[in-house]
Amino acid sequence: MLRRRLNRLLSGDERRVDSRTIYVGHRPCPATEAFIPPKFCDNRIVSSKYTVWNFLPKNLFEQFRRIANFYFLIIFLVQVIVDTPTSPVTSGLPLFFVITVTAIKQGYEDWLRHKADNEVNKYLVTVLEDGRRTRKESEKIKVGDVVEVEEDETFPCDLILLQSSRDDDTCFVTTASLDGESNHKTHYTVPDTEKDLESLNATIECEQPQPDLYKFVGRMHIYKNDQEPAVRSLGPENLLLKGATLKNTQKIFGVAVYTGMETKMALNYQGKSQKRSAVEKSINAFLLVYLCILVSKALVCTTLKYVWQSNPGQDEPWYNQKTQREKDTNLYLKMFTDFLSFMVLFNFIIPVSMYVTVEMQKFLGSFFIAWDKDFFDPEIQEGALVNTSDLNEELGQVEYVFTDKTGTLTQNNMEFIECCIDGFQYKYQDAASELDGFCVTDGPLSKLQQKAGREKEELFLRALCLCHTVQVKESTGQGDGLMNQVDGLELDGEVVRPEDQRGFIASSPDEVALVKGAMRYGFTFLGLESKNMKILNRNNDVEMYELLHVLNFDPVRRRMSVIVRTKSGDTLLFCKGADSSIFPRVRQDEVDRIRMHVERNATEGYRTLCVAYKKLTAEEYAQADTGLREARLALQDREEKLMAVYNQVETGMSLVGATAVEDRLQEEAAETMEALQGAGIKVWVLTGDKMETAKSTCYACRLFQRGTELLELTVRTLEEGGRKREERLHELLLDYHKKAVQDAAPVKAGVTRSWSTANQDYGFIIDGATLSMVLNSSPDANSGLYKSLFLQICQNCTAVLCCRMAPLQKAQIVKMVKNSKGGPITLSIGDGANDVSMILEAHVGIGIKGKEGRQAVRNSDYAIPKLKHLKKLLLAHGHLYYVRIAHLVQYFFYKNLCFILPQFLYQFFCGYSQQPLYDAAYLTMYNICFTSMPILAYSLLEQHIYMENLLDNATLYRPFLKQQRLYFVFANMLSSVSAWLVIILLILLSLLPDILLVVLRKPRGPHARQKKPVESSTGGPQSPRSSARPLLMRTFSDESNTVI
């Protein structure tokens, strides 16, 4: 023990950072050293910003970070401390109102977050302690606790699966709230664990918490009766993530490895920071400019005041004698006090009520979104939801849209469309009839042209029934909502026997669609029992196949295979995959018969898969079996060894046919994407799904067109050259940069794809593993160059697809674009908890009220029922909001500049005595009442373009963005110079006779006789008959000059 502590101390944090050791059930292993329970964080989830104790100071600190709030606080303190021309109430009351309203609003929002956290933390779970099942709150779970989870419950923390109620030691989970995939995934228990968990003595050594959902490395040491401990490797298939839901399994037991804020879900969650709109930032810029104007006016008046008082007799006229205290006051202190007084006098150039008006405009304006009947969805009986009204105008300035795929662009509802068998096309028809040897009960099927041989048809259908990882769940017959949890076998217009009312569970929805398609053709998959797959054929005979091996799908191979044995003893390999993966492994004459159908289906936006088979000899199977078993037992380079065996056995196959499956898009998804691109907005698809699935979705949504050249930067392309990945990455980035950036013709901003058909359109595809290399490459590989090249390529592409993304990687992509040159406004839209990070990272976050929970809706700024509503939200509401608030802000600054300019000019006629031109009540009410209401009504109701025209012509979204700037205010003032000159000229002409009379008339009477003594007197007090001019120029006594 001492040696281990010394090693850990001397090696710094290396051992602690790299791995952690967990004692299952907190039972010490039978080792010689003493048991020291390690310390880990508890299972509390904290998403709130404030507590009862820090709310007031923290909230005030955040509010006074605003330039305007801090400025008005300073002005208020000056008015309190210094004798100023205006009352402190004029600044203090509006400031207090703004601070109070904002604090109440933010406090209420944080209270809702506290409430949501308590629901999670106080949730009761079952924990095994000393052989007893104990119910405790979720927040009290500790690392090492053995937790029991029942069906349809969510996992309270990250667990290693120890025991399952299923006979095959597996369990099924859905991770819709994590990665957006609503399909069932299979997880496995750790082999050789004790059935009685109380007698299990084991330790787990695993990596420290990290956010990647798809990676986990660890090993488990199982101790038995003084024997050598058995070591079992742990991978992602053994890890149950917090937030996932247990399905099709009565209950499981798992040991907690990561808890609380160290779970993968929490690490992928970014704290909700306060978002500030671009208009609010421009207001700060306005304030700085106007503050400079204010300071310059105060300096000019202060300087001129002391220049004026430097003349004899002006500093201390006969009617305003100085007190002794005033004479003893320091000159510089007196000058500084006068400067502050002028600052307060001209303070109204910065409108304190503008913030109140802007807040009211945003708050009241947000109701128009909630009231819009076009956003109402009859299916869920809900409309749009506004979670924050601070970002209304951002909706009209969006330049990049980042969207999820599953549940956002698509309904995640696959449907089998057609198939091609031995070069002949088969497609569904509406009418049910007997066609080409297929019985009517087999479903509505027709053939086009001619028909393939019966043997080929049955071989193809058997391949669809056998080459998959689908599980069958029997119906309970109790109406438990099975069809909502899994894909049911309901057939259109067909009567299904009660014993056939099963549900299909699969890791991919297209596998379910293929099994359903085979079922319509007369072959029904009945399930897997004790490694035997059962099929009901067209003759209603049950066929049995022994499942020997499953060669799992991976994105590099882009295919999956199964090896089965028939009753007659034949060993068959069935393989399905992408055409580019299958075609090189079959005979060329077979490819030519099917390629045309595959290409046609792909251009129509369908997902295509090719099906092949191979009959294995005894020697071939024995060699493959040995290779597979050895590779699966390897702890080092397991994936590479498995890949080599897969590639060896999947050769020399015969091509049977191909399938076409449609992933149904959301309603009007393609039209919405086209409208956004027509408005000059670039759309990026960020998804955790496979590349092939996401690519077909992009084609269906018209983000990728037939003429679009795809630039692919994935693991598969990096391994094509046979060189190191770093070298290949560098080469591809330079090649794509030359093609998409250097050689591409410049496109003007706002020019849509339809207007620039002469230029080549590019689409960019990248996966999560490659993105990690680009963003987190080693320092010697010049990661900054990689990131810069990658960003430039993406910005020059019409659409970008990022697949196999972890939630945190989605946020990294959004942050990279948000912080790029020019600071473009970004918008993220999604419907699952896996989208929360990018929703929080973007300037505007949109949640869709989908089927994958409400995490995205709760963390979003706006929520809409369907993707199609995004079009009106941006192109109509967003555009109008931006133009309205731009006019509101500019009007406020314009009117206040005009309002305070006469006050500044009046100082030249009152001896710079800080005399207000306006009454105090008028000063206070001018901004609050007299001029706020008309512009508020205008900013709520103005529609310079009809909403219908904005929706029909998407190009109207962009032109106004570059016109709402600071110079607009000064440009309007300069444009009115001619009017100023005319007014001044009229005034001078109307007063010209009196002016000439005063100037030309010689002074007469007693005043003239006393002029000379006044001029010759030096020092002493002025004569009571002195000139009346100072009296006209100074109307107040020494109140403004008194120093307190």
Segments in 666-806 forming alpha helices (H): 669-678, 691-700, 715-718, 725-737, 768-775, 783-795
Q: What is the DSSP string of 866-903?
A: STTHHHHIIIIIIHHHHHHHHHHHHHHHHHHHHHHHHH
- The amino acid present at 921, given as its one-letter code, is A
Neighbour count for residue 757 (Cβ, 10 Å): 10
The residue behind tokens 């290399």 is 773
β-bridge pairing 124-129 and 146-150: antiparallel
Exposed, middle or buried by CB within 10 Å (0-12, 13-18, 19+), for 282?
middle
Q: How far is CA 158 from the centre of its chain?
A: 24
Task: Say if CB 233 and CB 635 are below 8 A apart.
Answer: yes
Bridge partner list, 487: 504
Neighbour count for residue 378 (Cβ, 10 Å): 7
Q: What is the spatial distance between Cα 823 and Cα 815, in angstroms, rounded to a whole number? A: 10
H or E stretch at 72: helix 67-81
Q: What is the spatial distance between Cα 977 and Cα 974, in angstroms, rounded to a whole number? A: 5
Task: Say if CB 374 and CB 627 are below 8 A apart.
Answer: no
Q: What is the spatial distance between Cα 495 and Cα 498, in angstroms, rounded to a whole number? A: 9
Proportion of the chain in helix, strand, coil states, percent, rounded to 5 = 45, 20, 35
**What are the φ and ψ backbone dihedral angles of 578, each rounded to 5 degrees?**
-65, 150
Q: What is the spatial distance between Cα 872 and Cα 369, in angstroms, rounded to a whole number? A: 10
Q: What is the spatial distance between Cα 176 and Cα 183, in angstroms, rounded to a whole number? A: 8
Q: What is the spatial distance between Cα 946 and Cα 942, in angstroms, rounded to a whole number? A: 10
Q: What angle do CA 67, 72, 76 make, to 5 degrees?
A: 150
Task: Say if CB 369 and CB 873 are below 8 A apart.
Answer: yes
Task: Say if CB 859 and CB 386 are below 8 A apart.
Answer: no
Q: How far is CA 679 from the centre of its chain?
A: 21
Segments in 330-401 forming alpha helices (H): 331-345, 353-371
The residue behind tokens 């049910």 is 432
* Calculated CA dihedral for residues 42, 48, 51, 52, nearest 10 degrees: -130
Q: What is the DSSP string of 211-234?
A: S-TT---EEEEE--TTSPPEEEEE
**What are the φ and ψ backbone dihedral angles of 927, each rounded to 5 degrees?**
-80, -35
Provide the residue count of the chain: 1044
Q: What is the DSSP string of 178-211?
A: HHSEEEEEEEEPPTT--SSGGG--EEEEEEPP-S
Catalytic residues: 404
Bridge partner list, 712: 765
- The amino acid present at 424, given as its one-letter code, is F
- The amino acid present at 261, given as its one-letter code, is M
Q: What is the DSSP string of 231-260?
A: EEEE-GGGEEPTT-EEES-SEEEEEEEE-G
Q: What is the spatial distance between Cα 102 and Cα 813, in angstroms, rounded to a whole number? A: 32
